[in-house]
Structure 1
Amino acid sequence: MPQVRPYRQELILQPLKPEYVNNSVAAVTKPADRLAVALAAVHAARSGAIRRLQLDDLDIGNRKLVIDGRVRPMDELTLHVAREWLDHRRRRWPDTANPHLLINKFSALGTGPVSAVSLTAPLRGQAATLEQLRVDRQLEEALSHGPDALHLADVFGLDEKTAIRYANSARALLDQAAEQPLQ
């Protein structure tokens, strides 16, 4: 007779504490790091997607950004830090042939992306990493627009199971909040 596994209750994703986000934002001082944080915290971009971004994926004039093939409107914050980064990049490496949006002193000499470590290192030791900021952004979307898995899949390009997980977590958090007595 096959063994039946006990039901495993899904963990409820929790929003980041505001001070964790604020500390991570304060920890990044370089233009490239600020852009990476904005891409994760505003656009829910994975670190791999951020590393793969090309200059052509950024359309400043039309305020659009393409992340993993998905066109996203560019908000004021992302627009500001993107311009800041592009100005810095142009001054620091005016002759680089590297097509990637984010480069550093090593990758500017070639055509490859920055390393995963160089992208994530500025937030090492912080309570809110790029990955946690990305997760928090998707959860925030589910909480503010309702726990709609289809909406989440459409906005962030999530697969079905992941979108359902975020929607279920948002639903549980909203239910918990509704059950709390007014103070």
Structure 2
Amino acid sequence: MVEPLDHLREVTRDDVLTYIKTLHGHQRHDQLVALRPLFTWAKRNGLIFRNPTSRIKVGQYEYAVLQPLVPEQVDRSVAAATTPATRLILALAAVHAARVAQIADLILDDVDLGNRRLTIAGRVRPLDDLTRKLLLDRLEHRRRRWPNTANLHLLINNQTATKTSRASNHWTSAAMRGQDATLERLRVDRQFEEALTHGPDPLHLAEVFGLDEKTAMRYADSARALLHQAAEQPLQ
């Protein structure tokens, strides 16, 4: 049993190493990140003579392997999308991996139906048949509901139709709130599905979705782990 210490000065490097050996994953990472500035501050203010956390590597944060959404989760979100706006919002997240804020920021000029292109956050994407149909449905609904609006945003509501500002993130994500397959989960699942389908190549993911290096590598690593697990399963 470890005896309680009366002062920070009594804590040794071995004490820290013994403690963190009892932790794993994000707990180990978070505790070391918290302890380091504490002892750095204590040394700077003369409370200790030596920092017991020095030269102890925090190490790279180990994320859990991502898991794809199951069809039932997606089906429930699809069933919850009951209006032209929410159906389009769902497609933008699930097909084009758009973030909630990016969806709310879309303006009419971002839609090029003739050339079948859609610009999201400055990146031009091909317009698939499903999203094109949902865009047409939403644009027709918008024309009938707010024929005189001056708001150039693609997605407007009763509050923003008389203004020029975009709809809030809260309104944009409202229909999927409480679902397992939220807009954020659908966005992540789309990017993960790309890694599973086209191979765990972080460069490909970064190019398709504009991801940063660390995020692309996380998707690729998770996809590689799941593909490896699937390959090891015996044939039925």
Give TM-score scaled by structure 1 length. Answer: 0.97
Stretches of structure 2 that go unaligned for 5 or more consecutive residues are 1-53
- Over residues 15-57 of structure 1, what are the superposed CA-to-partner deviations in whole Å (9 max), with x where a residue is unaligned? 0011100110111101011000000000000011001000000
CA distance in 2, matches of 1:126, 1:117: 15
Which AA in structure 2 matches 1:46? Answer: R
Aligned length: 183
Q: 2:124: which partner in 1?
A: 71
- How far has the Cα of 1:10 moved from its partner? 2.1
- How far has the Cα of 1:61 moved from its partner? 1.1
CA distance in 1, matches of 2:194, 2:97: 10
Secondary structure of 1:43 counterpart? coil
Q: 2:83: which partner in 1?
A: 30
- How far has the Cα of 1:98 moved from its partner? 0.6
Runs of 4+ in 1 over 6 A off after TM superposition: none
- Which of 93, 100, 120 is the aligned partner of 2:153? 100
Q: 1:177: which partner in 2?
A: 230
Stretches of structure 1 that go unaligned for 5 or more consecutive residues are none
RMSD, aligned CA: 1.1
- Which of 189, 193, 216 is the aligned partner of 1:163? 216
Q: 2:133: which partner in 1?
A: 80
Which AA in structure 2 matches 1:82? Answer: L
After superposition, the Cα gap between the structure-2 partners of 1:99 and 1:149, relative to the gap in structure 1 and judged at 3 Å, is same
Larger Rg, first or second structure (1 or 2): 2
| Percentage of identical aligned residues | 63
Give TM-score scaled by structure 2 length. Answer: 0.76
- Over residues 115-153 of structure 1, what are the superposed CA-to-partner deviations in whole Å (9 max), with x where a residue is unaligned? 111111101121100000000000000000000101101
CA distance in 2, matches of 1:71, 1:180: 39
> 1:124-135 counterparts in 2 under 5 A?
124-135=177-188
